[in-house]
Amino acid sequence: MSQDRIRTVAVVGDGPAGTTLATLLARAGLHVALFSRGRPNALVVGESLVPAVIPLLRELGVEDEVRRYSTLKPGATFVLGPGHSFEIDFATSCTRVPGYAYNVPRDRFDATLLAECEKSGVRVVKVAARVARDSGDRVRLREETLAAAGFEAQPDLVVDASGRARLVARLLGLPTHPGKRRDTALFSHCEGVPLDRDGHVHSDRLEQGWCWRIPLPGRVSVGVVAPPGVLATRGETPEAQFDAVLCGDPYLRSLAPDARRIAPVVRYTNYELSTLRGVGTNWALVGDAFGFIDPVFSSGLYLAMHSARILARAVLSGGRHALSRYEARHLRHLSAWRTAIGYFYDGRFFALLQMRDRSERSRFGRLVNPHLARHLPRVFTGEASAGRYDPWLLAALARAARREPGVDSFGIRDA
Ligand SMILES: Cc1cc2nc3c(=O)[nH]c(=O)nc-3n(C[C@H](O)[C@H](O)[C@H](O)COP(=O)(O)OP(=O)(O)OC[C@H]3O[C@@H](n4cnc5c(N)ncnc54)[C@H](O)[C@@H]3O)c2cc1C
């Protein structure tokens, strides 16, 4: 790695990772150009935040604005089946981050972060950036992209924040870690979908797969997640498949008989993929362009913005090894969430919540419960997901959860 002192940075991508990074670097005095090509759909997934995002919003100075158009999210509800649900309440779980989060309309959220970039002195270039492979491990902006950025020479660092487009990783053919599952998500906005708890993100186990309910102002975002083969049996188009699950799944039908879709359906298929390298000679990856994982715990925006913040610190510290440390830290962070997500699919997440709630009813349980209740949610709120102790404790508890009554029937059903 040759970047001892980085002065000019090109950021490719205008999602939360790119805009957070660009703002932090520009505020520190670097010359930053950010490329924004716009989204093909007004509906964008990533609407539910975890509490650990709040300090980042405050650091960027945008929390007040975000609050004005968002729904306050005091916790998360996980539904195993009719009448059988568990809650994580942020106010009682969070100690080092605020005890709440928000559900955000993504178009407005992204626009807020982009406006903050411009206020901070970032040159926002509204075109799709094009990048080419240079000699060895280097990349360069193509001529027309370089001209649009307004740099006199190639920037010291090119940051890929292009999300699932993975511009640099694909260009260089970087090695990847694919996820275990190949699910498809169909997502839209609905009316007439009730909630168990106001403001909570709800994750409901369905007859096949699972779904989310995210309350937004005036509507509820609903996403259905299942293996593609399961959805293919429900209809030809994404709309037909989504509507068939909404009206046909026994749990959803009884929960929301008056549900009505009020937006088109967007399908997401490429779902989980991490790149095993995050930095190179003159490039770095951030957010989904580095790695994206299953969305069940609403971790994506936190991972994107947190990776941007630690990358910004690495760039500003300028040391030769700082970027390598960024890479290692973020790979560990992705791995901690991936492990936690595995517990949702194999049933141990519900078993852990059952252990937490059941232990309140025995004397020994009351003794250990405060510890369990305090530490169990801390990975899922993001408060401690980047640390070492809580992910380790969660893994130890998950081993114990294998013995929990019912655990074998708590997993997500695929067929
Ligand atoms: C089904 C599903 C549900 C999800 N739900 C949640 C959730 O509830 N909560 C949560 O936190 N996360 C969720 N996520 C994850 C979340 O959406 C992402 O992690 C997050 O958007 C990543 O931010 P990013 O900035 O890295 O990338 P993105 O948000 O994808 O932004 C990348 C941007 O770069 C632009 N771009 C790409 N190529 C170029 C180019 N060449 N030039 C210029 N611009 C370019 C793209 O158009 C895009 O605007 C979900 C993901 C999926 C698939």
Ligand 1 atom 27 nearest Cα? 163
Q: Which atom of ligand 1 is nearest to the CA of 110?
A: 29
Given a contact cutoff of 8 angstroms between Cβ atoms, the answer to whether 385 and 299 are in contact is yes
Q: Calculate how far, in angstroms, residue 101's C-alpha sits from the geometric centre of ligand 1.
A: 19
Is 129 touching ligand 1 by the criterion CB < 6 Å?
yes
Whole-angstrom CA distances from 200 to 50, 88, 253 are 11, 9, 20
Q: What's the pLDDT at 319?
A: 72
> 393 CA to middle of ligand 1, Å?
30
**Ligand 1 atom nearest residue 299's Cα:** 11
**Dihedral, CA atoms, 252, 254, 256, 260, nearest 10 degrees?**
80
- Please classify residue 396 by burial: count the beta carbons closer than 10 Å to its beta carbon, then call 0-12 exposed, 13-18 middle and 19+ buried: exposed
Classify the phi-psi angles of 160: left when phi > 0, otherwise alpha if psi is within -120 to 50, otherwise beta: beta
Substitution candidate for ligand 1 out of 130, 288, 309, 344 with most atoms within 8 A of CB:
288
At residue 395, the 3 state secondary structure works out as: helix
Asked if 300 and 15 count as a contact pair (C-beta separation under 8 A), the reply is no
pLDDT digits (tens, 9 = 90+) for 298-353: 999 999 999 999 999 999 998 779 999 999 999 999 999 999 999 999 999 999 99
Residue 84 CA, ligand 1 centroid: distance in Å:
32
3-class DSSP state of 117: helix
Residues 352 and 340: beta-carbon distance below 8 Å: no
**Reduced to 3 states, what is the DSSP secondary structure of residue 164?**
helix
Which of 14, 222, 341 for a ligand 1 pocket mutation test, highest count of atoms within 8 Å of Cβ?
A: 14
- Contact (CB, 8 A) for 117 and 22: yes
Q: Which atom of ligand 1 is nearest to the CA of 287?
A: 26
From the CA of 45, how far away is ligand 1's center (Å)?
7
Residue 360 Cα to ligand 1 midpoint, Å, equals 40
Q: How far is the CA of 315 from the centre of ligand 1 (A)?
A: 22
Residue 15 Cβ inside 6 Å of ligand 1? The answer reads: yes
HEC profile of 118-153:
HHCCCEEECCCCCEEECCCCCEEECHHHHHHHCCCC
Ligand 1 neighbourhood includes 48 CB (under 6 angstroms): yes
Measured from the Cα of 223, ligand 1's closest atom is 1
With a 6 A CB cut-off, is 46 part of the ligand 1 pocket?
A: yes
Per-residue model confidence (pLDDT) at position 270: 73
Q: Is the CB of 17 under 6 A from ligand 1?
A: yes
The residue whose CA is least distant from atom 7 of ligand 1 is 46
Cβ contact 177:290 at 8 Å: no
Q: Is the CB of 287 under 6 A from ligand 1?
A: yes
| Distance from the Cα of residue 312 to its chain's centroid | 19
Mean pLDDT by runs of 10 across the 415 residues of the chain is 78 98 98 92 91 98 98 97 94 94 97 98 97 93 96 96 96 91 92 96 95 97 91 92 92 92 91 92 97 94 98 90 96 95 95 83 68 84 93 91 92 87
Ligand 1 lined by 304 (C-beta under 6 Å): yes
Q: What is the pLDDT of residue 360?
A: 67
Q: What is the pLDDT of residue 374?
A: 79
Ligand 1 binding pocket includes 156 (Cβ within 6 Å): no
163 CB near ligand 1 (under 6 Å): yes
Name the residue with the closest Cα to ligand 1, atom 40.
128
